[in-house]
Amino acid sequence: MQIYLDESGDLGWTFDKPNQHGGSSRFITIAGIVVDSDELKHVKRQIADLYKKYNLTPKIEKKGANFSEADATYIVRNLNAIFNKARSFKIIAITTRKENVNLSLRKDCNIFYNYMLGVMLPDTIKHYKNVEIVIDKRTIKVDSGRSFEEYIKTKCWGELQLDVDIACSYDSSDKNEGIWMADWLANFIWRHYEDGRSEAYKELSKLKGTIFFEKTLFM
CA distance 183 to 86: 19
Structure confidence at residue 136 as a pLDDT band (50, 70, 90): confident
What percent of the chain clears pLDDT 90, i.e. is strictly above it? 86
Mean pLDDT, rounded, for 158-162: 95
Is the pLDDT score of 67 beyond 60?
yes
Tens of pLDDT, residue by residue over 195-212, are: 999 999 999 999 999 999
- Categorize the per-residue pLDDT at 142 as very low, low, confident or very high, splitting at 50, 70 and 90: very low
Per-residue pLDDT band at 60 (split at 50, 70, 90):
confident
146 falls in which pLDDT band (50, 70, 90)? Answer: low
Question: Residue 125 pLDDT > 50, yes or no?
Answer: yes
Task: Give me the number of domains the chain comprises.
Answer: 1
**82 and 90 in contact (C-beta within 8 Å)?**
no
CA-to-CA distance for 42 and 53, rounded, in angstroms? Answer: 17
> At 205, which CATH number?
3.30.420.10
Q: From CA 166, how far away is CA 11, in angstroms rounded?
A: 26
Q: Give tens-digit pLDDT for 180-197.
A: 999 999 999 999 999 999
DSSP H helices, 78-121, are 80-83, 109-120
pLDDT at 144: 55
Euclidean distance between CA atoms 188 and 95, whole angstroms: 12
What pLDDT is recorded for position 172?
82
Against a cut of 0.85, is the pTM above it?
yes
Q: What is the pLDDT of residues 90-114, one digit of tens each?
A: 999 999 999 999 999 999 888 899 9
Domain extent, residue 14, equals 2-217
Please report the pLDDT score of residue 140 as a whole number. Answer: 60
